[in-house]
Structure 1
């Protein structure tokens, strides 16, 4: 099927629908849009989105009731300063039940809180979103660059796969089928109608679609076929933190094969048989060979010296003090705290909760430090008011651009296969040495020549 009216919408129509950027007549100076009204532009090697106003709306949560509006925003939302929230309430950008109120207004049960925020989306890679294939029955196969989230989330809206497909490529409605992390590149299956999406999602749940990845890990990965079947659980949803946990984790299985190494890193071929969040990343960390540039699972500040190998958790504060700790010889390294598993002895609920709580606290502290450091870098620019790096509309400092290392992790969804069909992408530059080696280990889909793409 060619791109036709059934699935496409003009770029102008896409830009005018929903809670998108303000119409051109409402766009003023302050870095919101150029004269043409285009949403996207490229600058300094990054794809950017012109800032725009966006309305967030939420009914009051239970913990907000009885507190002042300013207290709720200054304590519950940390992406802006307290000075910003005070000014925004005064300007009427933050309302209760559609009415302008003071910062001392008390939030009541069932109140509708709205925030008209001037959104500044983070920039992403300028590498284009490539259409690999569009089938007659409505499957779109996409090669997703790293740095771009699949769905709008957090600070990302127009710089997401679904929005790029709708705004830049003109599709009316798209239904992503498989999940890829924002920093992961590679093959993404997208339905152009709900029926195709549901069918392939069912195939993924039934494990009838084979997924193949390549990655670059720290260390010299073992030779041969390595299988990790450690169960995985979500430890902290807001932080996106997942871990191996034999007591509460869900069944997970990944096969790995070494492809090549350079003495410091190894290129590894991966076949995940299940689809847990961060499954490949978590299993590689557990094996002791985390993805080399993974900011979450290859992070000594969060995981400690053991870096999560074998499920070891970082040492809790109470184990670094007290009589037992002080009596240890200075040359004796502290033993890592193990996660609760049958292998090391089942811990009671209190012990288990304390162990996970400490890991989550370390992760939250590390992320806060990163955010604070970024904020300080942005505010440390020129003392000139004209070159202060502050938005003239909302007075927020411009965020520092991500470095090349912050735009991706070395994990690539290379190939997806089903009965009678398969699609693959090019091997990324960081794994080019393995391009000719993947063929000797890759999964062979059962041939079905009568139908290239069978649902």
Structure 2
């Protein structure tokens, strides 16, 4: 008699859904793994994809990449569907359901088929994406010095120093490791992506700490050169206007009394009747300091894609005269670059426009590489039906169409252009044809000319655009 009810329960119990615990069952969450701080990029990272060169550009073949993150505190108790719908809106919800069906979403290293699973503290999420990187200039990285302590290079314009945003392989760190076997480098200072010139790396933590101490003690002398609009004053000019970050996401700053104190000294080198070559001596290291101070003085860098645009008004920000709110300024900047199809110069993608919504920026997008869109998603309208699995026939059809293509690009050797098999049926980026930028468009006329410390001095060559008789073609 005691066995009969149990048998009946077995016959009527619903089938268990993958990724969702049965009623009363406690889902096991493994303890957080200890992360090994300081591990450098190695051969496994470099082997993710390959480079090819085309039209004066260095390009990266699209590749599969795992973004990983532990559950944020604000996610605990919320379903994956809710988190994707409210914070990771670069893709529609059906994309994440398809990604789950393809085995690209894993929770604690177990495939997730049901996005209704509720997140717990220490949950570990892995999201495999088909990653596209913007092209950079094909200009060679020239070595200025390499010894037992440091590596010093002349960084080309358009190359980020280290992986950030949409860039990974097209970065100085990856190229030095992959092509010159220089690994475990410690970044001493950074240059903006569009800024070229002297870039220093330490080969050990001890050397990095020693030079960093010189930076903190203001013992590091920095000298830049740029070409600016108009006739810059012949006499030395000092600008000490405070600088405020308008948006970390878009990478925009402006002069503002609430900003951080800083100081830049400028000296004119030449004037060709239209533009001036100016030496710059930044005594502090605020974000975009030279560029913002030059804009304030009414002499922005000739081809600065941010601070020399009409988004700042008729005066282009001279004297801090903008007459726009921060939101209006960001919207104007994005609209200008959207019209030119040059959002890459702002280091953001079309979906990464959350600052325009006026919402508070959060750090979510950086972890799983799902940037945020302007269009809001009504998470409350995501019904239980939306969290259910797609039918087995759809799973089978999807797997048959996508699985062979997801592997072939990993092992292909590229010669030029897009290879067959590099397209991913889940990837929206694969469906977009983007015009290549001209190598000229990837160069900004700002160059780090010299870095001098108490026991070192490194100089690069004066760029061609800084010569007295140079004229823009």
TM-score, with structure 2 as normaliser:
0.67
Could you tell me whether the CA contact under 8 Å between 1:285 and 1:297 is conserved in 2? Answer: yes
Q: Residues 48-94 of structure 1: CA distance to partner in whole angstroms, max 9, x if unpaired?
A: 22222211112233554566535544653465566644432331212
99 and 146 in structure 1: CA distance in 2 versus 1, 3 angstrom threshold: same
Could you tell me whether the CA contact under 8 Å between 1:21 and 1:54 is conserved in 2? Answer: no
Aligned: 1:305 with 2:345: no
Which residue of 139, 144, 155 corresponds with 1:127?
Answer: 139
Could you tell me whether the CA contact under 8 Å between 2:58 and 2:135 is conserved in 1? Answer: yes
| Displacement after TM superposition at 1:295 (Å) | 1.1
Aligned: 1:220 with 2:220: no
Aligned: 1:294 with 2:304: yes
364 and 106 in structure 1: CA distance in 2 versus 1, 3 angstrom threshold: farther
Q: Distance in 2 between matches of 1:149 and 1:187?
A: 13
Q: Distance in 2 between matches of 1:40 and 1:148?
A: 14
- 1:433 alignment partner, SS class: coil
Tell which deviates more after alignment, 210-219 or 394-403. 394-403
| Displacement after TM superposition at 1:275 (Å) | 1.0
260 and 181 in structure 1: CA distance in 2 versus 1, 3 angstrom threshold: same
> Aligned residue for 1:98?
109
Of structures 1 and 2, the one scoring higher in RCO (CA 8 A, sep 6+) is: 2
Question: How many pairs align?
Answer: 356
- 2:467 alignment partner, SS class: helix
Q: Distance in 2 between matches of 1:263 and 1:210?
A: 31
| Displacement after TM superposition at 1:181 (Å) | 0.5
Tell which deviates more after alignment, 305-314 or 77-86. 77-86
Unpaired runs of 5+ residues, structure 1, are: 1-12, 23-32, 34-38, 316-354, 377-385, 436-455
How is 1:230-379 mapped onto 2 (pairs within 5 angstroms)? 230-246=241-257, 248-301=258-311, 303-315=312-324, 355-363=325-333
Q: Residues 163-209 of structure 1: CA distance to partner in whole angstroms, max 9, x if unpaired?
A: 11111111131112121011100001111111111111111221211
Aligned: 1:423 with 2:458: yes
Unpaired runs of 5+ residues, structure 2, are: 1-39, 351-417
> Aligned residue for 1:16?
43
> Aligned residue for 1:348?
none
Could you tell me whether the CA contact under 8 Å between 2:56 and 2:439 is conserved in 1? Answer: no
CA RMSD of aligned residues (A): 3.1
Tell which deviates more after alignment, 286-295 or 40-49. 40-49
Could you tell me whether the CA contact under 8 Å between 1:293 and 1:405 is conserved in 2? Answer: no
> Aligned residue for 2:20?
none
Decide which structure has the larger Cα Rg and report it: 2
| Displacement after TM superposition at 1:104 (Å) | 4.2
103 and 286 in structure 1: CA distance in 2 versus 1, 3 angstrom threshold: farther
294 and 72 in structure 1: CA distance in 2 versus 1, 3 angstrom threshold: farther
289 and 106 in structure 1: CA distance in 2 versus 1, 3 angstrom threshold: farther
TM-score, with structure 1 as normaliser:
0.70
Q: Distance in 1 between matches of 2:160 and 2:120?
A: 34
Q: Distance in 1 between matches of 2:189 and 2:136?
A: 21
Could you tell me whether the CA contact under 8 Å between 1:68 and 1:103 is conserved in 2? Answer: no
Could you tell me whether the CA contact under 8 Å between 2:62 and 2:422 is conserved in 1? Answer: no
Could you tell me whether the CA contact under 8 Å between 2:232 and 2:268 is conserved in 1? Answer: yes
> Aligned residue for 2:55?
44
Could you tell me whether the CA contact under 8 Å between 1:14 and 1:167 is conserved in 2? Answer: no
Could you tell me whether the CA contact under 8 Å between 2:334 and 2:343 is conserved in 1? Answer: no
Q: Distance in 1 between matches of 2:219 and 2:422?
A: 51
Could you tell me whether the CA contact under 8 Å between 2:337 and 2:343 is conserved in 1? Answer: no
Tell which deviates more after alignment, 404-413 or 270-279. 404-413
Could you tell me whether the CA contact under 8 Å between 1:220 and 1:265 is conserved in 2? Answer: yes
Could you tell me whether the CA contact under 8 Å between 2:79 and 2:119 is conserved in 1? Answer: no
Q: Residues 6-58 of structure 1: CA distance to partner in whole angstroms, max 9, x if unpaired?
A: xxxxxxx97533x5545xxxxxxxxxx6xxxxx22212221122222211112
Could you tell me whether the CA contact under 8 Å between 2:227 and 2:446 is conserved in 1? Answer: yes
| Displacement after TM superposition at 1:142 (Å) | 0.7
- 1:127 alignment partner, SS class: coil
